[in-house]
Amino acid sequence: MTMQIYDLIIVGAGPAGITASVYAARQKLNFLVISLDIGGQAAWSGDIENYTGYQFITGPELAKKFQEHMSKYDIVLKENENVIRLKKSGEIILIETNKADYRARSVIIASGKKSKELGVRGEVEFKNRGLTYCATCDGPLFAGKEVAVIGGGNSALDAAMQLVKIAGHIYIINNTDRLGGDKVARQKVEEADNVTIYNNSQVLAILGDKFVNAIIIKDKGKEKQLTVGGVFVEIGLIPNSAFAEGLQMNQNKEIKVTVDNRTNIPGIFAAGDVTDVPEKQIIIAAGEGSKAALSAFRYLALKKES
């Protein structure tokens, strides 16, 4: 039995991947979308006040809007599939996932980023047992508890702002001399009554029994134990790009792209946070997804003419 060859396969269903899928559907391409989940990082975000058309919307609500738009078209979605390997062989691009193999004439990689890990004692043991990487997903489980947010950038500020309304007290453990991130978000966090900020500090270990009950930090050179019922790791993100063979990447493992989302391999395009495009924003990822789809359509059209 001959394996089907698609015009296009889109890897990822965050803002970039979903937008690319809508454009591909409108161009009547024979394509499918492969993704672990729907919504990507947008679904993890808290309050969003800078997405054009919405003066205020939460991340999960915006992700739902994306999904609803996607559902208006007859789009084939392979959800809960993880791409393990992607390479070009001749004129065909081969994709291997944890469930199946696929072939396509073109690909858009819109696989986004994943959370960095602390790499400290207790992190693996207490993952999903009081330690989490998503305040939007898990914040309500920690109502009234003392919790720690690890990090000092935008993702940590976003987590803290969500938890201010939920948790009893929040300790922010930041390894630089001051919080970074968006000025407005930083001010809101610093002015909150139930937030204590530890700058120039780092986490040494996560402690607990069945669940997290404390962390050990080094605060200005001295070790200190904080009693907490939850830990939110928000130290940044790394690109989901390890599966892509032969693509040029920068030092951060972001895929290098041109202004029209081409990579160094013809037929393979990339969009969103997995690329080296500056400013990781939902609205930018969506725009990059539309550009990538149009570029893929143009590539396929030129191939047919040649």
pLDDT over 70 at 105, yes or no: yes
The pLDDT value given to residue 306: 61
Instruction: Name 263's Cβ contacts closer than 8 Å, sequence gap at least 6.
Output: 109, 247, 248, 255, 256, 257, 269, 270
pTM attached to this predicted model = 0.80
Structure tokens, 236:
């940044």
Interatomic CA distance for residues 194 and 171, integer angstroms: 9
Domains delineated in the chain: 5-115+237-305 (3.50.50.60), 131-233 (3.50.50.60)
The pLDDT value given to residue 46: 66
Interatomic CA distance for residues 93 and 231, integer angstroms: 41
pLDDT grade for 200, boundaries at 50, 70 and 90: very high
pLDDT grade for 2, boundaries at 50, 70 and 90: low
Burial 61-72 (b: 16+ CB within 10 A, else e): bbbbbbeeebee
Positions annotated as catalytic residues are 134, 137-138
pLDDT over 90 at 221, yes or no: no
Residue 135's nearest CA partner among 151, 119, 121, 120 is 151
- DSSP annotation of 43 reads G
Mean pLDDT for the stretch of residues 154-175: 94
